[in-house]
Amino acid sequence: MIKELCNACCCFNFEYIINAGLMKKSILYFSFAGFLLIAVSACENLLDKVGVTINSDYTQVDFTVNPDQAGTYSEVVRVVDSDLDSLIEAEGQNIGEINSVKIKDAFIQVMDGGNLDPFESFLITLEAPGKSVVTVAEVTSVSAGLTEITLINEEVDLTDYLESDQYTIKVKTVLDQDLETPRLLRAKVRFEIKVGL
């Protein structure tokens, strides 16, 4: 009888220990899951406060450089309707929280099968009502055989320019050698918009 009671007692203690251990593990798992949930929620809130980076679509300016002598300067002008507000709203962001607008990238491409050999340099500027002309991208030398070239971006904030209803893009180029046939080119410009803190 005593032996049976001892055995029962030992079994009870053993089962109690096992159940207590499982309970502790369950509590730990639930605590960890709760911590993860809180952490993820906090991260999402932080990201909302930090804000986002929005890349615009490319604005394209097609233009033809007519035959001329080396050293000739040419310029093309295009007036663009700004869609800054709609870009920001499409991302669910507040228009009043724009941090900066800068050039993301800019290219010059040949569109008619030739190359950029006749050209010495390219310059892209922006203008807006009440704002001075600002250089946003340029390249001062062109390697032989290229059909596309990436311009070097200027670190300038363009928020005031794109907040206007319209802004003007000017593409300027200088011939490095005589151009004997018309050359069709395309300038492509894309903006990076940062919204939030």
pTM to 2 decimals?
0.73
Architecture of domain 52-195: Sandwich (2.60)
Per-residue pLDDT reduced to its tens digit, 153-180: 999 999 999 999 999 999 999 999 999 9
Tell me what percent of the residues of the chain surpass a pLDDT of 90. Answer: 70
133 token code pair: 């002309």
What percentage of the chain exceeds 70 in pLDDT?
Answer: 74
- Kindly report, residue by residue over 21-38, the tens digit of the pLDDT: 555 555 655 555 545 555
3-state DSSP assignment of residue 31: helix
pLDDT digits (tens, 9 = 90+) for 76-117: 999 999 999 999 999 999 888 999 999 999 999 999 989 999
Residue 85: alpha-carbon gap to chain centroid: 16
Closest by Cα among 186, 21, 184 to 109:
186
106 burial via Cβ count (<10 Å: 0-12, 13-18, 19+) = buried
Q: Per DSSP, what are the bridge partners of residue 124?
A: 137, 171
Domain ranges in the chain are 1-50, 52-195
